[in-house]
Amino acid sequence: MDPIEEAALLDALQRWVDKEVRPVVMRHDHGDIWPAELVAQMAEMGLFGATIGQEYGGLGLPATTYAKIIAMMSSYWMALTGIMNSHLIMAAAVERFGTEAQKAQWLPKFASGEIRGGLALTEPNAGTDLQAIRTVAVRDGDSYVINGTKTWISNGIQGSCFALLVKTDPKADPRYKGMSLMIAPKGPGFGVGKKFDKLGYKAIDSAELVFEDYRIPADNLIGGVEGQGFFQATGGLELGRINVAARGVGLADGALRLATEYAQIRETMGKPIAQHQAIQLKLGEMVTRARAARLLTLDAAEAYDRGERCDMEAGMAKFFASEAAVKNADEGMRIFGGYAYSKEYEIERFYRDAMLMCIGEGTNEMQRMIIAKQWVKRNPA
C-alpha cells in the first residue's frame, strides 16, 4: 500500500478511536456489553472487508497495513480487533480456497459486514489438537447433515455465519485427511449455547455452538473437495497469528503509554516517579520490548504479503508479542502501584486482556515447537 495512503488511513482510524471508542471503552468492558454502535461504524468504514480483495468489495489491505491497524486499535481496546479478526479469517478461507461461485456469493457480503461471523474450530476436547474434533458432517444427497459442538467461538452469539471444521470421514488415517471446512450460516439445527463469562476480553461474545441435524447445501463445502479442511483451517491461522501478534503489540504499547503518562504525573520524594531509577529501568525495558514485538510482527506480515510460507515468522511474532503484552501490562501495574487495582484506571484492563494472547490462536508452548521445527527444517545439518 502506498505509504501516504496508509498514513491517511491510520490517521482517520486514530481520530475515530479518539472520538468514538475511548469514551465508551470502560462502560462496555466493565459491563461486558456488545458494542453495537461501534460495530456498525466499523462496517461503514469497511473494516470487515479489510483484507478481502477489492474485486469483492473489500479494502484489499496488505497484512502489514492490517497489522498496524490492529496494533493501534488494541493499544486502546483489544476487543474490537477480535470482532474483526475471527470474521476475516473466515473470509480468508473462502477467498484463498473457495470456488469461484463461493467467492462471488459470500465475499461481497462478508466485506460489507452484512454477514459477519468467525471461525469454528475448537471443541471441548479439541483445541491445539484440531485433528481430535468430533463434529461430523454426513453427505445426504445435495446436502450435509452436521452434528457436534464447538466451544470458545468468538462472535458466536452476534455472528451469523462461520467457517466450520468438521469430520467428513471419521475413519480416515491419518486423521487430517478426513477433515473438511464448511460455510455454515445460522439456521435450523444451528444452536448457540452458553456465553462464557471471561476474566478479560469483555464485550466480544465467546460462546458454544451446538449442531443437531443441522443441514447445509453440499455447495457450502469450501473448495468443493472433501478432505482439505485441516490445511484450509490452519492456513488461515497464519493471518490469525499475525493478528494476535499485532494485538500483543497494541497491548504492550498501550500499557507503556499509560505507565509513561502516570510516571510523569505521580510524585514521590518531591519528584515525578519517572525520575527514579527503578521506574526508569522498567520503562526502558517496556519500550524496547514493545518495539521488538512490533518489528517481529511486521516481519511476519511482510512474509505473508510476499506469499511465502510464514508459520515460523508468525509463530515468533505471536509468541514474543503476546509475552511482551503480558510483561508490559504487569510492569504497568507495578508502576501504578495501588491505583492499578482500581477499575477507575485503565491499566487493569490491559492486565486482564494480555494473558489471552498467550493462549489464543495456538498456545505459546505450541508456537515454540513450531518455531523450532521450522528452524531445524530450514537449516539442515
Instruction: Report pLDDT for 362.
Output: 84
Long-range contacts of 302-309, Cβ-Cβ distance < 8 Å, separation of 24 or more: 302/63, 302/64, 304/63, 304/238, 304/239, 304/242, 305/62, 305/63, 305/64
Every domain of the chain and the residues it spans: 3-112, 117-230, 236-378
Active site residue 44: no
Quote the mean pLDDT of the chain.
95
Instruction: Report pLDDT for 1.
Output: 82
With a cut of 80, say whether residue 236 has pLDDT above it: no
**Residue bearing cell 457480503:** 109
Percent pLDDT > 90 in the chain is 92
With a cut of 80, say whether residue 59 has pLDDT above it: yes
Output the nine-digit C-alpha cell for 185.
450460516
235 falls in which pLDDT band (50, 70, 90)?
A: confident
Looking at domain 117-230, does it have CATH number 2.40.110.10?
A: yes
| Nearest to 33, CA basis, from 80, 73, 74, 75 | 80
With a cut of 90, say whether residue 374 has pLDDT above it: yes
Instruction: Report pLDDT for 2.
Output: 87
Q: How far apart are CA 273 and CA 271, in angstroms?
A: 6
pLDDT, tens digit, 9 for 90 and up, residues 285-338: 999 999 999 999 999 999 999 999 898 999 999 999 999 999 999 999 999 999
Instruction: Report pLDDT for 133.
Output: 94
Instruction: Report pLDDT for 201.
Output: 95
What would the mean pLDDT of 27-36 be, rounded to a whole number?
Answer: 96
13, HSE (Cβ side, Cα atoms, 13 Å):
25
Q: How far apart are CA 168 and CA 32, in angstroms?
A: 37
Q: How far apart are CA 162 and CA 263, in angstroms?
A: 45
With a cut of 80, say whether residue 178 has pLDDT above it: yes
CB 236 within 8 A of CB 222: no
Across 107-131, b (16+ Cβ under 10 Å) vs e yields: bbbbbbbebbbbbbbbbeebbeebe
pLDDT, tens digit, 9 for 90 and up, residues 182-199: 999 999 999 998 889 999
| pLDDT-wise least confident of 59-73, 206-220, 225-239, 275-289 | 225-239
Across 310-340, b (16+ Cβ under 10 Å) vs e yields: bbbbbbbbbbbbbbbbbbbbbbbbebbeeeb
Active-site residue, from 95, 313, 323, 361: 361
Fold match flag (3-112 vs 236-378): no
Q: How far apart are CA 305 and CA 81, in angstroms?
A: 20
The CATH number assigned to the domain with range 236-378 reads: 1.20.140.10
Instruction: Report pLDDT for 130.
Output: 85
With a cut of 80, say whether residue 346 has pLDDT above it: yes
Instruction: Report pLDDT for 113.
Output: 96
pLDDT, tens digit, 9 for 90 and up, residues 255-278: 999 999 999 999 999 999 999 999
With a cut of 90, say whether residue 213 has pLDDT above it: yes
Written as one string, the DSSP assignment of 253-279 is HHHHHHHHHHHHH-EETTEEGGGSHHH
156 falls in which pLDDT band (50, 70, 90)?
A: very high
Instruction: Report pLDDT for 203.
Output: 94
Instruction: Calculate the dihedral angle through the C-alpha atoms of 247, 250, 252, 256, rounding to the nearest 10 degrees.
Output: -160
What would the mean pLDDT of 150-179 be, rounded to a whole number?
Answer: 96
Across 177-205, b (16+ Cβ under 10 Å) vs e yields: ebbbbbbbeeeeebebeeeeebebbbbbb
With a cut of 80, say whether residue 237 has pLDDT above it: no
With a cut of 80, say whether residue 54 has pLDDT above it: yes
Instruction: Report pLDDT for 126.
Output: 84
Instruction: Report pLDDT for 194.
Output: 83
Percent pLDDT > 70 in the chain is 100
With a cut of 90, say whether residue 11 has pLDDT above it: yes
| pLDDT-wise least confident of 5-9, 233-237, 247-251, 276-280 | 233-237
What would the mean pLDDT of 87-93 be, rounded to a whole number?
Answer: 94
Whether residue 174 is preceded by a cis peptide bond, meaning omega within 30 degrees of 0, is yes
SS3 180: strand
- Indicate the fold that domain 3-112 takes in CATH: Butyryl-Coa Dehydrogenase, subunit A; domain 1 (1.10.540)
Instruction: Report pLDDT for 240.
Output: 85
CB 55 within 8 A of CB 199: no
Instruction: Report pLDDT for 115.
Output: 98
**Residue bearing cell 496508509:** 6
